[in-house]
Structure 1
Amino acid sequence: MHSNPYCWRRLYTDACLFRSLADMQAAIADDGALALSAISRLDRTLVIAGAAGEGRADLVHAVIAKIQSVCLSAASDRFFDSSFSFGPSPASNLNIPSFAREVPCLQNPPSMVAFQRSYFGQPFVLKGYISEWPALNEHPWRSPAYLRQVAGPGRVIPVEVGKDYRASDWTQTILRWDDFLDVLASSPVDDRHSVLYLAQHNLLAQFPRLRDDIVIPDYIYADMPVPADYPDYHPPGNEERLILNAWLGPNGTISPAHTDPYYNLYAQVVGRKTVWLAPPHVTPSMYPYAPSSAPESLSSWGSTHNPAANNTDPSLSNTSRVDVFSSEEAQSRADFPLFFEKVVPEAIAVTLEPGDLLFFPPGWWHAMRAEDVSFSVSMWF
């Protein structure tokens, strides 16, 4: 029998809504556990099912807000003078051996025409370009208190467990937002505790008030050409032709070198993050994992399976076996000779500060390392 995933997602969404609405009466006299369970269930409709169905997302948000206001003590408005802890800013974080030069920083933002004609093919940084966003000022994302207040009590979010999704013990779980913020605001992560990372999640859709704290750059609306070195480029297929994702995690969190199929404007809101990049044509020298559908004998892709591979479209999870942030001593030239010979001379890197905006085209290899508690927004277009 033919299965329609959308129908199942809508059925799940509607069932969760009906169950949560039915629970509201009992939750009023409850000690709060029933209300928290209902909110967690509704958050799962947003995270897992995308609140499938016309108007369902708005209804889910409205029901969550109603449960919070009637059944729970909402986070009070208060001054957001607290902040995540950050270490001292060193002169440079680019203490990695696998790059040849820094990402160019443009003195002035290019015009839309110049962006489309002259700047679309290479990465660049605009220092301080987003420094006027509310997220860096009157609605500070560096404040755990503000982030709690925006969401309200009882919310849950998806997190990765583990520093690196290539590791065999890496997994994912659903965690209370308040607990996640407590972990980020506590002592630095060490080897005794699992690293928790909110990665590639549309948090701004789950918590819509955060969406009001950013300003989408005009570059997003440019009619972008198909890059010569990435002929499979197509803009996102949604109505906005835009995919927003949030990335929030502790110091030391790493996204291994991988490629994405879209143009990317990457906004650094909180903390510092080091980014490594290399052009698409070095792909044969990046030692990528084999796609799930490829035979293990396909030597050009390597013989090790990528545990995070996307079976539907392997290009979305094209990940390198090379750890670009490791020292040369920890990573022998004998293991990855083509990487050191072909990739390193063309690789570029930069440490983004709060307020910086990084642009890079589709198909570019990129790896990220958080130098502090880091909150970033990627805008795929």
Structure 2
Amino acid sequence: MSSSLRNSDPFCWRRLYTEASMFRSLADLQSDDSDDEGLALSAISRLDKAVIVAGAAGEARLDIIHATIVKIQAEYLPVVHDDYTDSFPLISSTSPALSPCSRVVPILSSPPSMTAFQHHRSKEPFVLKNYTQAWPALTYNPWRSPTYLRHVAGPGRVVPVEVGSDYRASNWTQTIMRWDDFLCSLSSSKQATADPVLYLAQHNLLAQFPALRDDIIIPDYVYAAMVAPDDYPNYRPPGNEDQLVLNAWLGPAGTVSPAHTDPYYNLYAQVVGRKTVWLAPPGATASMYPYSAPTSSPAVSGTDKESRNPAVNNIDPSLSNTSRVDVFARAQSREEFPAFWENAVAQAMAVTLEPGDLLFFPPGWWHAMRSDDVSFSVSMWF
């Protein structure tokens, strides 16, 4: 491959992938093959991959792909309309144990005003109980219903999932699988002990299935035009037009996101099931034992704050913003990570989110998540 091709704009390659996927899908459906349903399923899968892999690059391509999928489903695939009275299984009614921390995340008695949020409340995490209870996702379009989630996507859809309970593990990987099969795995009575664990994580499912976007109400706080906090001066809002990134997180009980940092303000809405969240401020970074980037040497002490703060490292974001400490381990070794126990725990806080709860935390804060039931959450980075 020539150097000019290797160094060309990645958008061009994403646009090429998108266009090729669209033309191939349309061409297949014009063929004389007798297996119309098989061709339709293949076409829908290919179009979904253009969204997942290439972001449907190109002007109005996402809208065209959505319209094409709907048309293929209507003409080639049967659609069954059921009620939405089913729900994902709950694991236990008992309260889950919190991880080592000095206090519980503050729960506000009422939502702060925009001015109070900008100048005061945005400095530390807080929870608004039942803030999203009126969302369609919790009422008449219930995300707790696998039947509704199948219906809203329609037949033949595929989604990206993580395979493995912890992305730090050597056997962790990713794959693309049928949406129906993924929902079946979550609905199974054996989902809590499934091996491997399947987790739809940090994916803009609401862009792929736009009807889901209509089931949530974006809080006004994401439009607060936030400034960089004192303990995270390198903050910048997302670079897209809306300066907002929406991601969905759907997985079984026991799924864990290890302690890590993100560079944005975060509003985290719990829609289905319970999720326990552990948090520590940027000031705890030196005691969190982050993985070193491939091109830098390990640093757990010293005065080079940039080398110790994984949130400013973009060389290997999958690990360099991640702690080696398992904050949810029941028998964590104090000898292996002494600074964590001596310093980070004293600054940490935790909370278990229930359906309808909204959690806020600032950029650069360490956070770990553990699903205590089948859990469906939406993060809003701004």
Q: Shorter-normalised TM-score: what interval?
A: over 0.9
- 8 Å CA contact 2:98–2:276 kept in 1: the answer is no
Change (3 A) 1:184 1:89: same
Question: Which 10-residue stretch deviates more, 81-90 or 264-273?
Answer: 81-90
Aligned to 1:85: 89
User: By how many angstroms is 1:3 displaced?
Assistant: 1.7
Q: How does 1:104-253 map to 2 (within 5 A)?
A: 104-189=106-191, 193-253=195-255
Please give the alpha-carbon distance, in whole angstroms, between the structure 2 residues aligned to 1:52 and 1:27: 30
- 8 Å CA contact 2:286–2:300 kept in 1: the answer is no
Partner amino acid for 2:173? T
> In the alignment, does 2:21 pair up with 1:16?
yes
> In the alignment, does 2:28 pair up with 1:53?
no
> In the alignment, does 2:368 pair up with 1:363?
no
Q: Across the two proteins, how many residue pairs are aligned to each other?
A: 368
Instruction: Give deviations 1:50-106, integer Å, cap 9, x for gaps.
Output: 0000011111111111111111112x222101111113422x32343x111100000
Please give the alpha-carbon distance, in whole angstroms, between the structure 2 residues aligned to 1:151 and 1:214: 16
Change (3 A) 1:299 1:121: closer
User: By how many angstroms is 1:32 displaced?
Assistant: 1.4
Partner amino acid for 2:195? H
Change (3 A) 1:339 1:298: closer
> In the alignment, does 2:41 pair up with 1:36?
yes
- 8 Å CA contact 1:260–1:315 kept in 2: the answer is no
Instruction: Give deviations 1:169-223, integer Å, cap 9, x for gaps.
Output: 0000001000000000002335562100000000000000000000000111102
- 8 Å CA contact 1:6–1:52 kept in 2: the answer is yes
Partner amino acid for 2:338? P
Aligned to 2:334: 333
Instruction: Calculate the aligned-residue CA RMSD, in Å.
Output: 1.8
Change (3 A) 1:153 1:316: same
User: By how many angstroms is 1:313 displaced?
Assistant: 6.2
Aligned to 1:345: 346
User: By how many angstroms is 1:30 displaced?
Assistant: 1.7
Please give the alpha-carbon distance, in whole angstroms, between the structure 1 residues aligned to 2:313 and 2:144: 33
User: By how many angstroms is 1:8 displaced?
Assistant: 0.6
User: By how many angstroms is 1:225 displaced?
Assistant: 2.0
Please give the alpha-carbon distance, in whole angstroms, between the structure 1 residues aligned to 2:98 and 2:381: 28
Please give the alpha-carbon distance, in whole angstroms, between the structure 2 residues aligned to 1:145 and 1:44: 23
Please give the alpha-carbon distance, in whole angstroms, between the structure 2 residues aligned to 1:278 and 1:185: 33
Partner amino acid for 1:249? G
TM-score, length-scaled by structure 1: 0.93
Please give the alpha-carbon distance, in whole angstroms, between the structure 2 residues aligned to 1:93 and 1:192: 20
Aligned to 2:308: none
Partner amino acid for 1:54? E
Aligned to 1:305: none
Please give the alpha-carbon distance, in whole angstroms, between the structure 2 residues aligned to 1:139 and 1:108: 26
Please give the alpha-carbon distance, in whole angstroms, between the structure 2 residues aligned to 1:7 and 1:263: 31
Please give the alpha-carbon distance, in whole angstroms, between the structure 2 residues aligned to 1:181 and 1:37: 19
Partner amino acid for 2:284? V
Please give the alpha-carbon distance, in whole angstroms, between the structure 2 residues aligned to 1:364 and 1:315: 16
Please give the alpha-carbon distance, in whole angstroms, between the structure 1 residues aligned to 2:93 and 2:141: 23
- 8 Å CA contact 1:27–1:35 kept in 2: the answer is no
Q: How does 1:280-319 map to 2 (within 5 A)?
A: 280-295=282-297, 298=299, 300=301, 312=315, 314=317, 317-319=320-322
Equivalent residue of 1:26, what SS?
A: coil
Runs of 4+ in 1 over 2 A off after TM superposition: 25-29, 188-192, 297-301, 309-317
- 8 Å CA contact 2:290–2:320 kept in 1: the answer is no
User: By how many angstroms is 1:242 displaced?
Assistant: 0.3
TM-score, length-scaled by structure 2: 0.93
Partner amino acid for 2:329? S
Equivalent residue of 1:13, what SS?
A: helix
Partner amino acid for 1:13? T
Please give the alpha-carbon distance, in whole angstroms, between the structure 2 residues aligned to 1:267 and 1:184: 20
User: By how many angstroms is 1:331 displaced?
Assistant: 2.0
Partner amino acid for 1:350? V
Equivalent residue of 2:30, what SS?
A: helix
Equivalent residue of 1:48, what SS?
A: helix
Change (3 A) 1:315 1:71: closer
Instruction: Give deviations 1:238-265, integer Å, cap 9, x for gaps.
Output: 1111000000000000000000000000
Change (3 A) 1:59 1:31: closer
Please give the alpha-carbon distance, in whole angstroms, between the structure 1 residues aligned to 2:97 and 2:318: 28
Aligned to 1:378: 379
- 8 Å CA contact 1:46–1:57 kept in 2: the answer is yes
